A = this chain, B = another copy of it.
Amino acid sequence: MMKTVIHKLPKLLHGGDYNPDQWLDHPEVLAEDIELMKKAGVNTVSVGIFAWASLEPCEGVYDMDWLGEVIDRLYENGIYTVLATPTGAMPNWLTEKYEEVRQMGSSGVRNLSGKRHNFCYTSPVMREKTKKIDMELSRRFGKHPGVILWHISNEMGGNFTDGTCYCPLCQEKFRQWLKNKYKTLDALNTAWWTKFWSHTYTDWSQIHAPAPHGENLLHGLNLDWKRFSTEQLVDFYNEEVRAVRTNSDLPATTNMMGFFKDLDYCKFADSIDIAAWDAYPEWHSQKDEVDIAVWTAALHHQFRSLKKAPFLMMESTPSITNWKVNNIQKRPGMHELTSLQAIGLGSQSVQYFQWRKSRGSFEKFHGAVIGHTDHGNTRIFREVSRLGKRLHDISDEIYDTCNQPKTAFVFDWENWWALEDAAGPKKEMAYVGTFLSHYKPFWEMGIDVDVVPMEDDFKDYQLVIAPMNYMYKPEYAEKIRRFVREGGTYVATYFSGLVDDTDLCFIDRQPLDDVLGVSCEEIDSPNEFYKNHILYNGKKYDTGDLCEVLKVADAETLAVYEKDYYGGYPAVTVHTYGKGKAYYMACRTEEAFLKDFYGDIAAQCGLENGLTDRLPYGVTVSRRENDEKALYFVQNFNPAPVTVWLKGCFENIETGESVSGILQMSGYSCVILKKQIER
């Protein structure tokens, strides 16, 4: 059922970023690398990231022999290469000769040489130089038996500011993009509602990108600029793919960065062959691991949902990062647990940044499999090696399965941009935090979910949840209307459905008021002096900092406000529409309510994890399946052992033992259970 993307190595990958270019003067290091990789069970490394200066030391002169030797040697030792294009950072000869290749900031200052992701997305020179070196890489290595995947650039857009370039070339391209989108200035002026503050555009040339010292409160402009920037970078990505494909038919991807607001990753979905992301959760930064595991799981779901298929965890640290305020070591066991968490949520790989610590510069203290001293003789190396063996042993059992959720969360970048740019009831709207708080009950119930943009068709889901879905893109309301009418369950919240895709308010009526049976009359943002509660099923829950006062046209009230001027007013409602139900949550609440509410919803929808009726605190389960079997990844994020009561009989895929009734788990551990599916 699952489509294999990486044909040459249809296995769980284990390895990571490898930078032999930094050690060409130290052949003994390169030799040791091979030996230690084999010890650690590494089967795949990513090579060539940030290697432009080594691959093209001066303009037009390519030196790829060292790379060829590295790839050969790896291959000879059974290790495969993910080959990167080097555009993650530009060499100084390029940036110094051609000013236009360097990004310009929003205040109009051109960056100097240096930094990473410093390239202009539009520059013809940059595109030409990129094309040439990518074609050369393709020519040299596009058919090498050891190369399995193209790794286009690296963490695109990660320029430490806002992931975009404001140079004149980009601005001119933006004006063309707008002309193409709006056709007329009248249409643009209306869409952006420029008459407010009298900023009607009378010539296309009057349009400038948002700037601190210029226009920055025109939400439509802000939104279109972000859309343009994403599309321009997707276009750059596509050009790179075309270049590396000149002598290669390998799949391609690019590694993404979690909740990276600057780029709408969903727009890359059609262009990439397999999704990939770099996972850096802040393990051990809170009193327990639950919220961090929730954050991580949500993102694994998100990246799996990009292609609705297994993805790659392209980077992770075996130990520690070096760029957070405080960098704490993964406790013994955590590395194995969190690596298997990724696998359980659909990853086909556990890749590290980085194989070996560099001697100098910014990331020399970032965690790595191999450090500056002691090399193979460390706790970290031993944990990595143990995991390598485990991945190798379970690979065949797992490889052709994937998670297949019946629940979808709408998480949409354009909504995120618009919602948090809107000047509304609060300055901080916390879209990500709100999404995570609604997702958390599903993690606690061990129910997998998809995370999709509004463009999804929603057809295969039983339950769709859309927290703070402020913007309704064209057709969204109609798709949801159809989804509910045909039997789906839909959950909407406060601050939803207020604007269209150019951030213009809907007037006269709210688009889904027929489906929801309610509409919002006013929204209050109470502070600490106006704390309130809702009453639901006989229990009382705290409300939060957003509370809507509803008008109910035709809906059942499930919860009411306790007091204040909207005391007794509905806070949660449900409306039966067609064969389905539409819920509306009028206010923020404490987590306890979300847990109880979604517990009830899941029960009504018949959603369950299939493994157990009640997961202990800090324990979850995810499920990969295919037509024949379901694999349950039971994950204990507590440092202490726990007991899980199983529903039925399962097989531990690693020990082969049959397990039923009680499952004993040690602290920070993951057990993989299998059940055959009877059809």
Judge whether A426 and B92 touch: CB under 8 Å: no
Bound form: Cα–Cα A506–B202 in Å: 58
| A215 interfacial contact with B, CB 8 Å | yes
Between-chain CB contacts (< 8 Å), 7 pairs: A92-B199, A114-B218, A325-B427, A328-B526, A331-B564, A374-B519, A378-B521
Q: Is A114 a contact of B522 with CB atoms below 8 Å?
A: no
Interface segment, A279-287, A439-447, A658-666?
A279-287
Chain B residues lying within 8 Å of A326, measured Cβ to Cβ, are: 425-427, 525, 527, 545
Of the candidate stretches A353-361, A604-612, A628-636, the one touching chain B is: A353-361
- Flag whether A163 is at the interface (Cβ < 8 A): no
Whether the pair B54, A205 counts as a contact (CB closer than 8 A) is: no
Name A361's contact: one of B91, B219, B286, B358 (CB within 8 Å).
B219
Residues B53 and A198 in contact, CB atoms below 8 Å apart:
yes
Mark each residue of chain A from 188 to 199: 1 if its CB lies under 8 Å from any CB of chain B, else 0. 001111111111
Q: Please, which residues of chain B bring their CB within 8 A of the CB of A284?
A: 527, 529-530
Q: CB of A116 within 8 A of chain B? A: yes
Q: Is A168 an interface residue (CB 8 A)?
A: no
Known contacts A198-B52, A326-B426, A328-B524, A206 near B361 by CB under 8 Å: no
Interchain CB contact under 8 A, B373 and A51: no
B residues less than 8 Å from A115 (CB atoms)? 214-217
CB of A238 closer than 8 Å to a CB of B: no
Query: Which residues on the B side are within 8 Å of A1 (C-beta)?
Result: none
A196 CB contact (under 8 Å) in B199, B285, B363: B363
| Residue-wise interface mask of A (105-117) relative to B, using a CB-CB cutoff of 8 A (1 in contact, 0 not) | 1011111111110
Judge whether A652 is part of the interface by a CB distance below 8 angstroms.
no
Please tell me if the beta carbons of B379 and A522 are within 8 angstroms of each other in the complex: yes
Binds B, one of A299-307, A316-324, A578-586: A316-324
Q: Does A50 contact B (CB under 8 A)?
A: yes
Q: Is the interface of A mostly helix, strand, loop or mixed?
A: loop
Give the 6 A-B residue pairs with the shortest CB-CB distance, closest first. A193-B360, A112-B214, A114-B215, A196-B361, A53-B200, A217-B362
Contact A54 B519 (CB under 8 A): no
Residues of chain B within 8 A (CB-CB) of A529 are 284-287
Q: Are A423 and B192 closer than 8 Å at their CB atoms?
A: no
Rounded to whole angstroms, the CA-CA distance of A77 and B115 in the bound complex is: 62
Per-position contact with B for A490-506: 1 when CB-CB < 8 Å, else 0?
A: 00000000100011111
- State in angstroms the CA–CA spacing of A22 and B332 once bound together: 63
Shortest C-beta distance, A582 to chain B (Å), equals 18
Known: A92-B200, A359-B505, A363-B423. 7 other contacts (CB 8 A): A89-B198, A108-B109, A111-B213, A217-B361, A325-B426, A357-B505, A373-B506
Interfacial chain B residues near A208, Cβ < 8 Å: 112-114
User: Interface residue tally of chain A, by bracket?
Assistant: 35 or more
Q: For A508, what are the chain B residues with a Cβ–Cβ distance below 8 Å?
A: 372-373
| A663 shortest CB reach to chain B, Å | 25
Q: Which of B57, B202, B328 contacts A527 (CB 8 A)?
A: B328
Please determine whether A202 and B57 come into contact, CB atoms closer than 8 angstroms.
yes
CB of A128 within 8 A of chain B? no
Beta-carbon contacts under 8 Å, A48-73 to B? 50-54, 57-58
Residues of B within 8 A of A331 (CB): 564-565
Tell me if B360 and A109 are in contact (CB < 8 A).
Answer: no
Contacts of A57 in B (CB 8 A): 200, 202
CA distance A25 to B206 in the complex (A): 24
Does A395 sit at the interface, judged by CB under 8 A? no
A640 proximal to B (CB < 8 A): no
Cβ contact within 8 Å between A504 and B425:
no
Is A678 engaged at the interface, CB distance under 8 Å to the other chain? no
Closest residue to A211 on the B side, CB-wise? B112
Residues of B within 8 A of A325 (CB): 426-428
* Contact between chains at A510 and B373 (CB < 8 Å): yes
Residues of B within 8 A of A109 (CB): 107-108, 213
For A547, the closest partner residue in chain B by CB is: B329
Instruction: Let me know if A201 is at the binding interface, CB within 8 A.
Output: yes
Contacts of A90 in B (CB 8 A): 198
